[in-house]
Amino acid sequence: MIFSAFPVYAVLFALWGPDARTEDSFIAAVYEHAVILPNGTQSPVTQDDALMLMNKNLDVLEKAIKQAAFEGAHIIVTPEDGIYGWVFTRDTIFPYLEDIPDPQVNWIPCTDPNRFGRAPVQKRLSCLARDNSIYVVANIGDKKPCNATDSRCPEDGRYQYNTNVVFGADGKLVARYHKYNLFEPEVQFDFPKDSQIVSFETPFGKFGIFTCFDIFLHDPAVTVVEKYQVDSILYPAAWYNTLPLLSAAPFHSAWARSMRVNLLSANTHNTRMHMTGSGIYAPDGVRAFHYDMETESGQLLLSELKSRPRLWPSYPVAVDWSAYAKNIKPPSREYKEFGGKIYFDEFTFTDLIQARENYTVCENDLCCHLSYKMTEKRADEAYVLGVFNGLHTVEGQYYLQVCTLLKCQTTDLRTCGEPVGSAFTKFEEFSLSGTFGTNYVFPQVILSGSQLATEQQYEVTSDGRLRNRGAVSLPILVTALYGRVYEKDPPRLGQGVPPLRPL
Backbone angles phi, psi at 121, to 5 degrees: -70, -45
Q: Indicate if 212 belongs to the active site.
A: yes
In angstroms, what CA-CA distances link 323 with 144, 257, 363, 435, 468? 49, 18, 18, 8, 18
Give the integer Cα–Cα distance in Å for 157 and 331.
63
In angstroms, what CA-CA distances link 62 with 78, 100, 202, 332? 11, 20, 22, 62
User: Residue ranges of the alpha helices (H) in 269-360?
Assistant: none
CB 321 within 8 A of CB 481: yes
CB 244 within 8 A of CB 340: no
Going 57 to 62 to 67 to 68, the CA torsion angle's sign is: positive
In angstroms and rounded to an integer, the radius of gyration of the C-alpha atoms of the chain is 23
Choice among 212, 367, 403, 408 that is catalytic:
212
Using alpha carbons, select from 350, 336, 355 the residue that is nearest to residue 384. 350
Q: Indicate if 80 belongs to the active site.
A: yes
Give the integer Cα–Cα distance in Å for 249 and 447.
12
Specify the pairing of strand 356-363 against strand 345-351: unpaired
Collapsing DSSP states into helix, strand and coil, what is residue 32? strand
How many residues does this entry show for the chain?
503
Give the integer Cα–Cα distance in Å for 202 and 330.
50
Residue 61 DSSP class:
H
Q: Tell me the one-letter amino acid at 1.
A: M
Crossing angle between the packed helical segments 120-132 and 47-70, to the nearest 10 degrees: 10
Specify the pairing of strand 232-237 against strand 205-209: parallel
Choice among 63, 123, 172, 179 that is catalytic:
179
For residue 293, the tally of other CB atoms under 10 A from its CB is: 14
Choice among 32, 80, 98, 363 that is catalytic:
80
Q: Supply the residues annotated as catalytic.
A: 80, 179, 212
